[in-house]
A and B are shown apart, each in its own frame.
Chain A
Amino acid sequence: MLVLDQLAYRHPGQPTGYAFSLEAAPGEITAVSGASGSGKSTLLDLIAGFLAPSSGSLTLDGRDLLPLQPEERPVSILFQADALFEHLSAASNVALGLPRGTDKAEKDAAVTSALAEVGLPEVGRQRGDTLSGGQKQRVALARTLLRKRPVLLLDEPFSALDDATRAAVRDLVLTLTKREGWITLLVSHHVDDIDAVATRQYRIAEGRLLLS
């Protein structure tokens, strides 16, 4: 269980700050909605370790995550754009999810398998910038599969996709979350996305998270 308890942060120069409390369970998608500028991305930055809170706690199954650097946190993150390094092939992008020094044969097998799992077994050699928006997000999910981190943070990941692709990628995220037992936190302002996949829903209002 991922637990945030009064995790507080205030951006420099802003009169009021945030104090986030939230619980998210494995195998479930927990959604957070809110108006633009309400603090959705700040919430993800705090969990991922890009921002340091002034007080409060952040634990995963009782383990304190706050002392950990972003690269040490048990977290994968997926953004609306820039999910891939576009000058690299899809396979090289996926391989970044493996620990450094992984044997080449092992790496090739893992990448092939991960790409197949997200429904893109044929794009391994293609450069990132030749893939469609939906393919890019799927490739990023394949990388997430290899990283084997229990928490997946999604920052508006479906916003740039057309309706049909969006539904397909959304369903893939839900399937993988259930199968892998990920604690998935979805930040979005699209009610359709949230209603389709979220088990638990929060809304940010005046710097606080309210359970809907």
Chain B
Amino acid sequence: MVIGAAVALLIVLVLWSITATAATDPGTSPSRIDLPWLVLTTTIQAGLTMVLSLLVGTALAWALNRLRFPGRELIVGLFASAIVTPGIIIAFGLLAVWGRAGWVAEFTGVRIPIFGLGGILFAHVILDASFAARILLARLESVPDFRLKTGQSLGLSAIQRFALIDWPAIRPTLPGLGAIIFLLAFTSFPVVLLLGGGPANQTLEVAIYSAVRLDFDLRGAVNLALVQIAICAGIILLASAAAPIPANLGRSAPQRWRDGAWVQALQEAVLVIGVLGFGLPLLAILIDGLGPGLGSLLAQPGFWRSLWTSLAIAAASAVLTLLIGLTLAAARAASPGRLVKTGIGAPAYAYLAVPTVVLSLGFFLLARNAGIDPELAAPFVVVLANTLLALPYAVSTLAPPLEAIATRRGKLIRALDLSGTQQFRSVEWPLIAGDAGVVTALAFCFSLGDLGVIALFGTQDFATLPLLMSRALGAYRSNDAAGIAAIMLLLTLAAFVLIPKLFQRLGHARA
């Protein structure tokens, strides 16, 4: 309860500091921000991202559902990692493949304009379609065996099979998934910063960042932030009316029902394009980043300082996210009545409506209004902000299994007179350790790849790897940027794979 109240209080303080500044700050000069234009272009970009990502994600999920081949699980894992792959890495990888000095230009001589709306959409679709494919694949793999057998026995064609079996399985997930993708694209920061190519292609987030860091237009930034919060809250309300996205990722059953040869060829083509689209930028990052230029990066003390800062912030955010997430989820599970449960969960979910840069701006203003030097507050604020941003994912993952345990085993637990600690150690932890591992890995990776918070609070002495990479790109030190991107990618993938495994082992040890 106390933690829930603290989480709620923080968001109230952030919103208050933003609105209070809007009311009192006179502004130094007339704002150059064209708000209606920004909202319109951001909405168009996010809408296109959503539609394209759902289409590509559905095609990838369809192909993966049908095909069986050695290494399939690796590709499924690759798509699953899209949720944690930092946008700045994908944007940089796209430049390495499609940019002016990228692989495509080098080998074919063809120069593709990667900056602007096309580049933003490309990067967003690569990330979001991969994420969508993993979620939709889980839905397709949850289709009951009976249904598949009936369809196969009836001799359904590939089109009939999609319309009668696949589409009903994925359709309920599409509105919620679409809303999440729209939100991710609407609030996109690093991709737009890197690939936007100027003010013509901005999101509100980038405009807020520009207003604070480049134009010193605090009042303009605050106005943008309020509009951003209102729109995001609206999208979340719409999304919450849709069916929830299931947390579990389904089974991978042996596929006995193969489509015809032509359809299989189409599925293989879809998959190859998908794997190249997502995999090539990552491969380019590793090849470019782990090349000869790495030595000079590793010789820089600033790199090592940023690496340790990043790891420390990510670890602290991950642990804090897990602790607060577990506490809120357990409190929800133990509470009677829907209203109380909603009251406990709502403050955590509210952070979905507060985009990264806006939250960071809120803390920035809060520190300034309280007379605290933002440089001194920076490490704590960055950890706290990243924790709060990961909290909705933590609560939405941990609350359902804990509530299921309370419903199914509540009477038995009471009959055995287990203490709270016994209940957690013996009953709950073994069952939720896997989910706790996923939450910790997500929080670690989100924090490791964050640019939105650190962009406002970073200083010369206090920088994380994404900020260092962004600065290297700004200073045209592309070798350094490539090296940092490669190391971030390896760290992200390692954390994404190893942390859940570690927690699963801890869960088994306790069980």
**A202 located at the interface, meaning its Cβ lies under 8 Å from any Cβ of chain B in the complex:** no
Contact in complex: A82, B150 (CB < 8 Å) = yes
Residues of B within 8 A of A79 (CB): 146, 149-150
CA distance A19 to B149 in the complex (A): 22
Closest chain A residue to B151, Cβ basis: A85
Find the A residue at minimum CB distance from B165.
A85
Question: Does A87 count as interface, using CB distance less than 8 angstroms?
Answer: yes
* Chain B nearest CB, measured from A21 CB (Å): 23
Q: Which residue of A lies closest to B154 (CB)?
A: A96
At the interface, is chain A mostly helix, strand, loop or mixed? loop
Q: How far is the CB of B263 from chain A (nearest CB, A)?
A: 14
Q: Please indicate the chain A residues that have their CB under 8 angstroms from the CB of B146 in the complex.
A: 79-82
Q: How far is the CA of A87 from the CA of B165 in the complex (A)?
A: 10
- Asked if A71 and B152 make an inter-chain contact with CB atoms under 8 angstroms apart, the answer reads yes
Q: Does A184 contact B (CB under 8 A)?
A: no
Is A100 an interface residue when CB atoms closer than 8 A count as contact?
yes
Bound state CA distance, A111 and B157, in angstroms?
Answer: 20
The winner among A70, A81, A88, A147 for most chain B CB atoms within 10 A is A70
Verify if A76 is at the interface (C-beta below 8 Å from B): yes
Complex: A111 Cα to B217 Cα, angstroms: 70
Q: Does B336 contact A (CB under 8 A)?
A: no
Please state if A87 and B152 are interface contacts (CB–CB under 8 Å). Answer: no
Taking a contact as CB atoms closer than 8 A, the residue among A71, A80, A88 that contacts B153 in the complex is A71
Q: Across the A-B interface, how many residue pairs have beta carbons closer than 8 Å? A: 46
Which residue of chain B is the closest to A84 with respect to CB atoms? B150
Is B147 part of the binding interface, using a Cβ–Cβ cutoff of 8 Å?
yes
A97 at the interface (CB under 8 A from B): yes
Residues of B within 8 A of A75 (CB): 153
B199: CB under 8 A from chain A?
no
| Majority SS at the chain B contact face | helix
A50 touches B152 (CB 8 A): yes
Q: Which residues from chain B contact A71 at a C-beta distance below 8 Å?
A: 152-155
Whether B256 sits at the interface, judged by CB under 8 Å, is yes
Q: How far is the CB of B2 from chain A (nearest CB, A)?
A: 46
Contact A70 B150 (CB under 8 A): no
Evaluate contact between B168 and A70: CB separation under 8 angstroms. Answer: no
Within 8 A of B (CB), among A93-115: 96-97, 100
CA distance A85 to B147 in the complex (A): 8
Please state if A77 and B164 are interface contacts (CB–CB under 8 Å): no
Contact A82 B153 (CB under 8 A): no
* A48 in contact with B153 (CB, 8 Å): yes
Q: Could you say which of B150, B156, B165, B257 contacts A83, with CB atoms under 8 Å apart?
A: B150
Decide if B150 touches A88 in the complex (CB within 8 Å).
no
A70-B151 Cα distance, complex, nearest whole Å: 10
CA distance A85 to B152 in the complex (A): 13
**B301: interface (CB < 8 Å):** no
Task: Identify the 8 closest CB pairs spanning chains A and B, nearest first.
Answer: A71-B155, A82-B146, A79-B146, A82-B147, A70-B152, A77-B153, A85-B164, A87-B168
15 CB contacts below 8 A, A to B, read A50-B152, A70-B257, A71-B155, A73-B153, A76-B153, A77-B153, A79-B146, A80-B146, A82-B144, A83-B150, A86-B168, A96-B156, A97-B154, A100-B157, A147-B154
